[in-house]
Structure 1
Amino acid sequence: MKNIIEVRELSYRYDKTSDYLTLDNLTFHVKRGEWLSIIGHNGSGKSTLVRLLDGLLEPLSGEIMIAGDLLTPENIWDKRRHIGMVFQNPDNQFVGATVEDDVAFGLENQGVPYETMLERIEEVLQIVGMSDFKDREPSRLSGGQKQRVAIAGILALRPDILILDEATSMLDPRGRLELIRMVQKIKLETGMTVISITHDLDEISLSDRVLVLKQGRIESSSHPKELFSRTDLADLGLDEPFANQIRSVLGHKGYQLPASYLTEEELQDYLWELR
């Protein structure tokens, strides 16, 4: 599988007069069609990294390759067409008076023909389950519905890469799970690459790989199962997965369970076998 993003020796600092680097010599890749979660404490450089990938910031040094081309000031607008970004607060992204108008905004900017635009709006609103709300004012929607509309606006532009920058953090647990399962469905159906900055365990568990940032450097890159098997999750700003908590309680009661991480479904199956 080819890489859609390649980052080589990337560094960045906000204060040009300081020696402190927000990002310090990062090198990694993202495969086409992969879901990569990026985690780490606040201040570890997560949001700075995705803003560099989208060309919103200019690196101090290093290279960013998007779809095989080096990201430069000359091609930045073209490369941004490959990437759609959804932020933590969807209210900051709304510009239309209605849901339909908002989804249409990006398409109009790209000069998409009117008939094609109508088809895409209907298509993406159906994908995110918001077809019945197309005449509603975005401000009157729930948090989860707003994020669905924000994602619809991105999908209408047909990017290769979807970046979720803490996009589920303001939602309740049910809304959060519904949204990430919707993103997973879109990824499987379209082959879209997903990059998510998150602390949510369900979101991390659906990803193919997890990049841990620590003080502006890559601390590790692993599969979610490997990450959840670690004993220092609290140091990474993560809660202990529910299955790990149950395993710990049962261990204290004398039950010998595998040391490796088990999903809730795997733990349930294992407990049935013990019976």
Structure 2
Amino acid sequence: MTILRVAPFSLKIHLNNMTNIIEVQNLTYRYDSQEETPVLKNLSFHVKRGEWLSIIGHNGSGKSTTVRLLNGLLEADSGDIFISGDKLRADNVWEKRRQIGMVFQNPDNQFVGATVEDDVAFGLENQGIERQEMLKRVREALELVDMQEFKTREPARLSGGQKQRVAIAGIIALRPDLIILDEATSMLDPEGRFELIQTVKKIKDRHQLTVISITHDLDEVLLSDRVLVMKAGQVETSTTPRDLFSRPDLQDLGLDQPFTNQLKDSLLELGFHLPQHYLTEKELQDYLWELL
């Protein structure tokens, strides 16, 4: 009988590749080779398959630079990126880009089609998708983002929120494994931000996608499974939204205080005795109901 022996280290690498869609190891990057201080310095983190990871931090902390490196739009000075277990290299960057869909801050920069459905179909045409399959994917993607009735409209005549929905539809039609939202809601009003994030959540849950969100928006952070706090090109901490919102230095991280924290502070001043840790609106409501 032959006994198969697997080295523990090899087994660990295999398991990580199965559970992590992204592995970043010791990335360093400078926009200018003459820069003394790099934008990213020995940055390491992972993204689990199927999770929603929010990345927060002040402007200049390296958030957007990081996701551009993940998509091969920039090339690191040193360090490695693994996507679905494969090291990102010059000879596979186009293949790996097909696994990642990016939605940027300004959707106008992504539009190329004369109509909404033309724009959603553009990436599929570039990939040589057969026409009937392409029409099916365009229809399904527009239905997912509730934009089917706007399919013959010019993208330029849509509202900001509608434009971002179309941009997401164009990504969804390509069937990526991972969606990156790079400040995708920052130009929208509060209602538009909330609707867009709920749309992304619906798509994520339906198709078991992985989401990375670069954001300052509290609703995006609250929906995430995990939060990376970046500072000066490195990960300051990896935490849960609940633990993050329990921190007293949220404004130093570029975030506003959640409504429940603001309400708790006001109630504490009035003499109410409340837990120090973060409470969701439902938890705060239940706690106040018990007190009263």
Regarding TM over 0.5, the answer is yes
Aligned length: 275
CA distance in 2, matches of 1:61, 1:260: 39
Counterpart selection for 1:34 from 25, 28, 51? 51
Tell me the residue number matched to 1:125. Answer: 142
CA distance in 2, matches of 1:234, 1:174: 23
Pairing 1:79-118 to 2, within 5 Å after superposition: 79-118=96-135
Give SS of 1:235's match.
helix
Instruction: Determine if the alignment matches structure 1 residue 248 to structure 2 residue 276.
Output: no
AA aligned to 1:11 is: T
Tell me the residue number matched to 2:12. Answer: none
Pairing 1:1-275 to 2, within 5 Å after superposition: 2-275=19-292
Give the Å deviation of 1:119: 0.3
AA aligned to 1:139 is: A
Give TM-score, length-normalised by structure 2: 0.93
CA distance in 1, matches of 2:97, 2:219: 28
CA distance in 2, matches of 1:60, 1:175: 38
Give the Å deviation of 1:20: 1.0
CA distance in 2, matches of 1:18, 1:236: 25
Once the two structures are superposed, residues 48-86 of structure 1 have per-residue CA deviations (whole angstroms, 9 ceiling, x without a partner) of 000000000000100000011000001000000000000
Please tell me whether Structure 1 or Structure 2 has the larger radius of gyration of its CA atoms. 2
Give the Å deviation of 1:15: 1.2
Runs of 4+ in 1 over 4 A off after TM superposition: none
Give the Å deviation of 1:264: 1.1
AA aligned to 1:27 is: S
Give SS of 1:205's match.
helix
CA distance in 2, matches of 1:105, 1:165: 21
Give the Å deviation of 1:18: 1.9
Structure 2 spans left out of the alignment, 5+ residues: 1-17
State, as a whole percentage, how many aligned pairs show the same letter: 69
CA distance in 2, matches of 1:218, 1:203: 19
